[in-house]
């Protein structure tokens, strides 16, 4: 194993500043939290599961879903008793109307689109497309809280819009849904969320203090490997897709922290950070993300590389904890029938872009990526 040198440790997940407890509650609420027909669960997948029934989707109804997906959203639909039929995304990561048309049959009741990495899809067009065929539009804005399309929030075009609060803010959990007919509020017991809050604080400190970042970088892979081992011995190989208890409300810490952490400037900060990275690393960015639309609220900064695992391992040694973006599809996907989605899964690395990053953090990302690119001629190192 290569020697680590002290470096700030940067994750793609937003961190939680220590001063958050002293902040006053914001009067501004982001969409959809400001809407009466919004419901908040612990996770977005639970929100999806509950809203399917509320919208009148019945067992064996079919939903057209993208082959390029996280996997948990697909699992939620299947657990709700629905059938999924996959479509391929085009070069802009949009569905192709002709392909969708060829997948239509009388049992198709909804189209599912994803606003990838906080970049808005043309949801207005897809709403019209669905209305013309009498089916529902489900907008997955899990990565796109705060994103807008023509000044309208994404997630507001569909019959259902679903969001992850913890992907945009350093919260322990939170999956919000807005729907024409929302489900009942979750009735389960709230967990405290303190341990995850503690970890988000540590992550915040590790982006600021090199000494802490150093330990963070050493401990993180151990934690990841222990989790993997634990899941394997418990035969939970698809744990990342599990829906869990569908009546789970958000944790008590999430409820307490939401009004303290939300900020009207968050999307601007993310766009600013994205633009900085685009300026320095733009030639590595996959085409659909190479231009930043005004209404985007980027969740991560994607780069395309030849040897993503090797690249990732080398970046980690420099303190940049990227993510192989959606490496594993849902097991129901016939992977070989969707070559573009497969290529995206195999080649796209996501880097941090969140609002808590400082200028030094962004510079560290740029320098690290450039150094790894130059050094790739050196023999590969094992992932730790
Ligand atoms: C596109 C997409 N949809 C849905 C989800 C599910 O979100 P959650 O983890 O809150 O259930 C995710 C999670 O990563 C996602 O990326």
Of 280, 279, 289, 264, nearest to 355 by C-alpha is 264
pLDDT at 26 over 90: yes
Does ligand 1 lie within 6 Å of residue 108's CB atom?
A: no
| Predicted pLDDT at 23 | 97
| CA 209 to ligand 1 center in whole angstroms | 30
Q: Beta strand 108-114 with 62-66: parallel, antiparallel or unpaired?
A: parallel
Predicted pLDDT at 384: 42
Mean pLDDT value across the chain: 94
Atom number, ligand 1, closest to the C-alpha of residue 116:
1
Model confidence at 52: pLDDT above 80: yes
CA 203 – ligand 1 centroid, Å: 21
CB of 277 closer than 6 angstroms to any ligand 1 atom: no
Q: How far is ligand 1, taken at its centre, from the CA of residue 373, in Å?
A: 30
Give pLDDT, residue 1.
52
Q: What is the DSSP letter of 18?
A: G
Over residues 212-221, mean pLDDT = 83
For residue 64, pLDDT over 70 is answered with yes
Span from the CA of 378 to the centroid of ligand 1 (angstroms) = 36
* Out of 130-134, 190-194, 203-207, 223-227, least confident range: 223-227
Ligand 1 centre distance from Cα of residue 70 (Å): 6
Q: What is the pLDDT of residue 326?
A: 92
- Please give the pLDDT value at position 379: 52
Distance CA 247, CA 78 (A): 17
Q: Is 344 a pocket residue for ligand 1 (Cβ < 6 Å)?
A: no
Q: Is the pLDDT of residue 60 over 70?
A: yes
pLDDT digits (tens, 9 = 90+) for 285-332: 999 999 999 999 999 999 999 899 999 999 999 999 999 989 999 999
Distance of CA 227 to the CA centre of its chain: 20
Q: What percent of the chain has pLDDT over 90?
A: 86
Q: Which residue, chain included where needed, has tokens 């049959």?
A: 105
Q: How far apart are the C-alpha atoms of 48 and 212, rounded to whole Å?
A: 38
Q: What is the DSSP letter of 15?
A: P
Distance CA 104, CA 85 (A): 9
CB distance 138 to ligand 1 below 6 Å: no
5 CA → ligand 1 middle, Å: 34
Atom of ligand 1 nearest to the CA of 46: 11
Tell whether the model's pLDDT for residue 176 goes beyond 50: yes
Ligand 1 and 73: CB distance under 6 A: yes
DSSP helix/strand/coil, 349: strand
Q: Which residues contact 101 (CB under 8 A, 6 or more apart)?
A: none
- Residue 96, φ and ψ in degrees, nearest 5: -95, 120
CB burial class (10 A; 0-12, 13-18, 19+) of residue 18? exposed
Cα of 10 to ligand 1 centre, how many Å? 21
Taking residues 191-204, what's their average pLDDT?
97
Token digits of residue 347: 């080649």
Angle 266-281/359-375 helices, nearest 10 degrees?
A: 30
Q: Is the pLDDT of residue 186 over 80?
A: yes
Q: What is the pLDDT of residues 224-281, one digit of tens each?
A: 888 888 888 887 778 899 999 999 999 999 999 999 999 999 999 999 999 999 999 9
- Mean pLDDT computed over 3-23: 90
Residue to mutate, 41, 43, 44, ligand 1, most ligand atoms under 8 Å from C-beta: 44
* Cβ 329 under 6 angstroms from ligand 1: no
Residue 139 in contact with ligand 1 by CB distance below 6 A: no
Q: Determine the pLDDT at residue 226.
A: 86
pLDDT at 145 over 80: yes
| pLDDT score of 4 | 67
Res 224: pLDDT:
83
Q: What is the pLDDT of residue 236?
A: 77
When pLDDT is cut at 50, 70 and 90, the band that residue 44 belongs to is: very high
pLDDT the model gives residue 2: 58
| Residue 28 clears pLDDT 60, i.e. is over it | yes
> 3: pLDDT confidence band, cut at 50, 70 and 90?
low
Task: Kindly state if the Cβ of 75 falls inside 6 Å of ligand 1.
Answer: no
pLDDT, tens digit, 9 for 90 and up, residues 346-368? 999 999 999 999 999 999 999 99
Q: Are 21 and 136 in contact (CB under 8 A)?
A: no
Q: How confident is the model at residue 378 (pLDDT cuts 50, 70, 90)?
A: low
pLDDT score recorded for residue 377: 59
- Contacts of residue 341, Cβ cutoff 8 Å, sequence gap at least 6: 66, 67, 68, 88, 89, 329, 333, 335
Give, to the nearest 10 degrees, the angle between helix 44-54 and helix 72-79: 30
What pLDDT is attached to residue 215? 81
The most distant pair of C-alpha atoms in the chain lies apart, rounded to whole Å, by 60
Contact 81, 58 (CB under 8 A): yes
pLDDT for 235: 76
Structural domains of the chain, ranges and CATH numbers in brackets: 10-17+194-238+264-375 (3.90.1150.10), 24-179 (3.40.640.10)
CA angle 89, 77, 106 (to 5 degrees): 75
- Per-residue pLDDT at 184 exceeds 60: yes
Q: How far is the CA of 287 from the centre of ligand 1 (A)?
A: 23
């Amino acid at each position: 194993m290569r020697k680590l040198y002290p470096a700030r440790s940067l994750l793609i997940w937003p961190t939680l500043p220590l001063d958050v407890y002293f902040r006053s509650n914001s009067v501004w609420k982001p969409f959809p939290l400001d809407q009466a027909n919004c419901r908040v669960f612990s996770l977005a997948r639970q929100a999806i599961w509950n809203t399917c029934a509320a919208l009148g989707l019945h067992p064996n109804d079919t939903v057209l879903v993208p082959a390029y997906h996280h996997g948990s959203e697909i699992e939620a639909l299947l657990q709700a008793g629905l059938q999924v039929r996959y479509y391929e995304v085009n070069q802009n990561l949009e569905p192709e109307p002709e392909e969708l048309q060829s997948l239509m049959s009388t049992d198709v009741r909804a189209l599912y689109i994803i606003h990838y990495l906080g970049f808005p899809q043309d949801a207005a067009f897809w709403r019209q497309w669905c209305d013309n065929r009498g089916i529902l539009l489900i907008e997955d804005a899990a990565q796109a809280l705060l994103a807008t399309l023509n000044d309208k929030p994404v997630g507001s075009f569909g019959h259902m819009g679903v969001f992850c609060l913890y992907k945009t803010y350093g919260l322990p959990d939170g999956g919000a849904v807005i729907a024409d007919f929302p489900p009942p509020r979750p009735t389960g017991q709230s967990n405290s969320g303190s341990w995850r809050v503690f970890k988000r604080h540590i992550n915040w400190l590790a982006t600021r203090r090199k000494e802490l970042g150093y330990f963070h970088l050493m401990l993180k892979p151990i934690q990841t490997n222990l989790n993997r081992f634990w899941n394997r011995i418990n035969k939970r190989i698809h744990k990342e897709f599990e829906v869990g208890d569908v009546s789970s409300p958000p944790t008590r810490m999430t409820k307490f922290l939401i009004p303290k952490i939300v900020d009207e400037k968050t999307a601007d900060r993310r766009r600013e950070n994205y633009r900085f990275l685009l300026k320095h690393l733009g030639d590595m960015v996959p085409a659909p993300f190479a231009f930043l639309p005004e209404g985007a609220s980027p969740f991560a900064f994607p780069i395309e590389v030849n040897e993503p695992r090797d690249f990732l391992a080398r970046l980690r040694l420099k303190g940049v904890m990227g993510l192989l973006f959606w490496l594993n599809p849902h097991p129901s996907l016939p992977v070989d029938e969707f070559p573009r989605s497969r290529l995206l899964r195999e080649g796209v690395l996501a880097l941090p872009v969140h609002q808590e990053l400082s200028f030094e953090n962004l510079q560290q990302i740029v320098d690290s990526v450039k150094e790894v690119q130059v050094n790739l001629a050196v023999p590969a190192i094992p992932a730790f």
